[in-house]
Amino acid sequence: MTRNFLGNSTVAGPVTQFALLLVPMVMSCFFVVYAMAGWVIDGRDRLNWAVEALTVSVWVALSMLAFNGLVIAYTRWRGGSWWHPLIVSSIGHMVLSVLMTLSVFITVRL
């Protein structure tokens, strides 16, 4: 068993770790841009954005919570510690998704 700076190599191989770290990163980047669009746009564009924003934010947040929850379960099942980068990243993305959902809710209510 080899230890490296990315955690226990027996938990997940490098390609699996890359994929499990890349997917939430892409989803979080989309969510940040989508949520911040509500703070920037104005007038009719903001009204059109607000019509679908709550539904989109809830579904994106739920999918991020589910995906990251599965990553945490997979990592723990494979013997990873709570400080494994996959778990730390998943928790961070879960917190970010909740914060972005709150941001969308606040923006729509303003």
Question: According to the model, what pLDDT value does residue 9 have?
Answer: 59
Residue 110, token pair as written in the block: 């303003």
Which secondary structure element, helix H or strand E, spans residue 22, and what is its range?
helix 14-40
Angstrom CA distances, 1 to 9, 10, 11, 24, 81, stand at: 7, 7, 10, 27, 15
Give the mean pLDDT of 2-24. Answer: 75
Instruction: Answer whether 7's CB lies under 8 Å from 86's CB.
Output: yes
Residue 38, token pair as written in the block: 């509500």
pTM, full prediction: 0.83
Residue 7 phi/psi, 5-degree rounding, is 110, -165
Q: Mean pLDDT, the chain, as a whole number?
A: 88
Question: According to the model, what pLDDT value does residue 110 have?
Answer: 78
Number of H helices, E strands in the chain: 3, 2
